[in-house]
Structure 1
Amino acid sequence: MPPRKKALPRPLPEGWIVTDAEKRQWRLGKMIGQGGFGLIYLASPGTGKHDEDEAEFVIKVEYKENGPLFSELKFYQRAAKPADIQKWMQVKRLRFLGIPKYCGHGIVEFDELSYRFMVIERLGKDLQHIFEKQGKMFKNQVVLNLGLKMLHVLEYIHENEYIHGDIKAANILLGFKDSNKLYLADYGLSYRYSPNQIHKKYEERPKKGHNGTIEYTSIDAHKGVAPSRRSDLEILGYCMLHWMCGKLPWEQYLNKPELVLEAKTKLMEKLPESVTQISPHGAKCGEIAKILSLVKKLGYDERPNYHMLQKILLDGLKETQKDFNDFLDFSPVSEVEAHGYCLYNHATTIKSVRRDIRTTQPVEKCLNESKTSLTRSRMVQNKVKEDLDAKWEEAKENENSLEKHKKYKKKNKTEENHFNKITQNLTKELKPRTTQLLTKKKYAEDECNKLTGSDRQYEDEYLIQQANDDQIEFSWRKWCLLLVFLIILIVIVTLY
């Protein structure tokens, strides 16, 4: 377990040299920020002084006993190794994955106090700063692109058994030298949801409820349940809804967590209507409603279908004719430029339009834009109607085809039954005939055997008779020869 949290540490002097666990030395520059429990300094490798404007590293410092930096450090050591991130990008065919590069850590002593520090790459402005500068509203394509980039990061984190736990605009930063790169930073509340591949059990703990940033924290966190993968996705959905609409339904209850929980529960129970009702006319919130609907169906320990979630946002980007890798246009925009409309159905937005008319736009220009927007809306409606009619005709054809198939199948079934019946009848008829034929066959074989035995008896008698005849013939010849011999003998005796 990480140590308990404490207050902000005393600042370290600028130019202080610290040595990390790998014996590398880092020089602290000026302090550029602070978090809930730590300080952030610019840093440069080595002991020499460098140009701080070009510093490519920062050092996060907390008291050694504090918990957030300890948790963040463990996340980087276990789940965010540069080699692992590079391999993941190759497998997923990504050009970039928004996790800051970890460079080192260590313990340093100053003024009889122990500090823990961690070195990571330097990042640029946070998204919250840009969001507020733009009047708390982003363009449709920007929100969809932001959501898609964060989904890729969350998929990697979740596959490494971790939860981020505190997704918000303040923790999403632009790259230091490339503002098109977005990083999900600050893993002080990261949580290992499945140590040793055993998921944490669902258990409500009211005393630990409402943890995290109240605007975006998940329903599970409100109930004191340990965070899970669905918690991160739910938080991301709330963030996207805020970026797209400029407000959330529970903003007026932030000092009353129970009312915030009630409002979030109501929103999730009545999806997708609840999202479309709060979204300004023209805002593309359909994708956000789909994502939250999928999150709502997820089990506490169930693995999300990241591919499906990413496809929802990719399809939305295709409709805006933007690509995932396109440059993120964070230029300041009005609500009209962000969502393509001028007149709104909501009372709160009507006030802002009237203010725009009074201060920045002539009435004629706003009316012309309204007419143009109305014409576009009608064109879209006609296109939708044509698509629906085409789908209706296709459905009818499919229905007719299905009926034909059913009739054909039924006819084949009838013919099959008829054939089976004929087969059964023939079998019944042929069975006695087969028995009769087998009986006749056996009788014929017996007769054949008898005839074969008689032939053999006749053959033996014939051979005996033939032998007797041969013997008689031999005897007759023998006597003839003897008689001739006697006659010749008598003649010879007579002559002498």
Structure 2
Amino acid sequence: MPPKSKPPGKARAPAKRKLAEEFPRGEVLTDTAKKQWILGEPIGQGGFGLLYLANENSSGTVGKDAPYVIKVEPSDNGPLFSELKFYMRAAKPDLIEKWRKSQKLKYLGVPKYWGSGLHEKGGSRYRFMVMDRFGTDLQKVFEENGKRFSRKTVLQLGLRLLDILEYIHEHEYVHADIKASNLLLSYKNPNLVYLVDYGLAYRYSPEGVLKEYKEDPKRCHDGTIEFTSIDAHKGVSPSRRSDLEILGYCMIQWLCGSLPWEDNLKDPNYVRDLKIKSRHNIPDFISKCFSTNDTPHEMIEYMEEVKSLEYNDKPSYQKLRTILQLGLKSIGSKDDDKLDFFISVNELASKSTKKKTKRKLTEVSEESGGDQEVIPTKRGRGRGRGQGVPSKTEANGLKEKSPARKKRSSSKKILVETGTQTSPAIGRGRGRPKLMK
């Protein structure tokens, strides 16, 4: 018998978390390897953690050009502890560098783990983790570009993400929450992009033993509602094919501006049913997202390849790369390692004439049953399990200290201001703490 829906407003509230105390500049933290780190100014804060500029302990102070950030939260809280498991197993600098060389990659967009530990102050204990410092996130860039990226840029982002996903998959994990707000540009080089926030990362193959396909009604719709996989909508633990499906939805949204189910993200069963319907007829799905003259056929091929995967299949990452590379070739371009986020007003106007995508299901599949819990999730940065959207003065759960305003060039091209400071989120994928300066 399917579970009864819960009346609005009766959902279980998340467990309360302790607030993080703000440490003074110059506070020294010692990690588990006995390495010392010195804190600079806090550059982001949320309800349960703080992010600081940081450097290796030295006689000098931590300046605004510090290369590291440290997330600190009370040790009783869970988000950082959950994410640490991934970083300690799969994000050590030597592991990443070894893989990069073996695959002959110029870089790999996985944040490096530099250390972690516990710190006591004022009778309280705090957990901390040291990471690289990053620049702005792609959601801000996407919105400033009128919610469009060029086809070349999207295909290049897809290629970089395939590199990242192959690495984390080979190290027994899947990410499960790929989206623009979890993609950060390098602090020094805006052509380098990194996938952050491993709060929902799942170890799908511990010690090489694959998890079995199992639907769990209590876990339905985990992730970010507009992008999450069909498996996740059914309460199945994420898999490699789930990550690739999520990436497909992201690329399609970046190209056309919105997905067909974005008109009703408050109803996760509606979103799930439209995704299932779209998978049954991928060419029709793509045609609803694009006008006839700008259909990216590589997206059809990509989604068809993902559709062919069984739950525990190992994907052919190279085949998927080839599909995207042929897409670049079809528009007379190539992967030149340069992410061009400029987009002209004329191009935006041209893309705005695409076919409207907001269609409602005329027939709801019997699978929904009409009595699963409806979880309110807001558009743009909505999440499963009833999480809302942070205000414009917040960055994924962390309030901006001094939010920088984005600028428009005099030539009427929308551009990225890479001086805005952000850093990787650490948490359960719900209140993603990225740092903003």
TM-score class, shorter-chain normalisation, is 0.7 to 0.9
Q: Give the TM-score, by structure 2 length.
A: 0.74
Q: Specify whether residues 176 and 343 from structure 1 end up closer, same or farther in structure 2 by C-alpha distance, changes over 3 A only.
A: closer
Match of 1:449 in 2: none
Asked if residue 327 in structure 1 is aligned to residue 338 in structure 2, the reply is: yes
- Opposite residue 29 of structure 1, the aligned amino acid is G
1:294 Cα deviation after fit: 1.3
Root-mean-square deviation (CA, aligned residues, Å) is 2.5
Asked if residue 45 in structure 1 is aligned to residue 56 in structure 2, the reply is: yes
Asked if residue 143 in structure 1 is aligned to residue 154 in structure 2, the reply is: yes
1:109 Cα deviation after fit: 1.9
1:13 Cα deviation after fit: 2.0
1:6 Cα deviation after fit: 5.1
Asked if residue 9 in structure 1 is aligned to residue 19 in structure 2, the reply is: yes
Q: How does 1:126-137 map to 2 (within 5 A)?
A: 126-137=137-148
Of 327, 344, 347, which aligns to 2:353?
Answer: 344
Select the structure of larger CA radius of gyration: 1
Contact 2:72 / 2:127 at 8 angstroms: preserved in 1?
A: yes
1:76 Cα deviation after fit: 1.7
Match of 1:57 in 2: 68
Match of 2:374 in 1: none
Structure 1 SS opposite 2:282: coil
Which one has the bigger helix percentage? 1
Structure 1 SS opposite 2:114: strand
Alpha-carbon distance between aligned partners in 2 of 1:37 and 1:150, rounded to the nearest angstrom: 30
Deviations 1:6-53 (A, max 9, x none): 536324223122111122222222222346854322112215453532
Q: How does 1:320-399 map to 2 (within 5 A)?
A: 320-334=331-345, 336-337=346-347, 341=350, 344=353, 346=355
Q: How does 1:76-87 map to 2 (within 5 A)?
A: 76-87=87-98
Q: How does 1:201-350 map to 2 (within 5 A)?
A: 201-334=212-345, 336-337=346-347, 341=350, 344=353, 346=355
Q: Specify whether residues 209 and 8 from structure 1 end up closer, same or farther in structure 2 by C-alpha distance, changes over 3 A only.
A: farther
Asked if residue 186 in structure 1 is aligned to residue 197 in structure 2, the reply is: yes
Structure 2 SS opposite 1:272: helix
Deviations 1:103-150 (A, max 9, x none): 110111233332211001101101111111111110010000001100
Aligned length: 346
Contact 2:69 / 2:133 at 8 angstroms: preserved in 1?
A: yes
- Opposite residue 315 of structure 2, the aligned amino acid is P
Q: Specify whether residues 6 and 73 from structure 1 end up closer, same or farther in structure 2 by C-alpha distance, changes over 3 A only.
A: farther
Contact 1:57 / 1:119 at 8 angstroms: preserved in 2?
A: yes
* Structure of higher RCO (CA pairs closer than 8 Å, 6+ residues apart): 2
Contact 1:172 / 1:182 at 8 angstroms: preserved in 2?
A: yes
Once structures 1 and 2 are overlaid, which stretch shifts more, 79-88 or 4-13?
4-13
> Which residues of structure 2 form unaligned runs of 5+?
1-13, 359-437
Q: Give the TM-score, by structure 1 length.
A: 0.65
1:5 Cα deviation after fit: 6.7
Deviations 1:417-459 (A, max 9, x none): xxxxxxxxxxxxxxxxxxxxxxxxxxxxxxxxxxxxxxxxxxx
Match of 1:169 in 2: 180
1:68 Cα deviation after fit: 2.7
Contact 1:276 / 1:285 at 8 angstroms: preserved in 2?
A: no
Asked if residue 91 in structure 1 is aligned to residue 116 in structure 2, the reply is: no
Alpha-carbon distance between aligned partners in 1 of 2:70 and 2:208, rounded to the nearest angstrom: 32
Contact 1:58 / 1:122 at 8 angstroms: preserved in 2?
A: yes
Q: Specify whether residues 259 and 10 from structure 1 end up closer, same or farther in structure 2 by C-alpha distance, changes over 3 A only.
A: same
Alpha-carbon distance between aligned partners in 2 of 1:190 and 1:348, rounded to the nearest angstrom: 31
Alpha-carbon distance between aligned partners in 1 of 2:354 and 2:272, rounded to the nearest angstrom: 27
Alpha-carbon distance between aligned partners in 2 of 1:118 and 1:342, rounded to the nearest angstrom: 43
1:188 Cα deviation after fit: 1.4
> Which residues of structure 1 form unaligned runs of 5+?
350-496
Deviations 1:330-382 (A, max 9, x none): 12433x4269x478353689xxxxxxxxxxxxxxxxxxxxxxxxxxxxxxxxx
1:206 Cα deviation after fit: 0.9
- Opposite residue 77 of structure 1, the aligned amino acid is M
- Opposite residue 65 of structure 1, the aligned amino acid is D
Deviations 1:129-185 (A, max 9, x none): 111111111001000000110011000100111011111111100001111111011
Alpha-carbon distance between aligned partners in 2 of 1:282 and 1:92, rounded to the nearest angstrom: 37
Seq. identity, %: 49
Q: How does 1:478-489 map to 2 (within 5 A)?
A: none
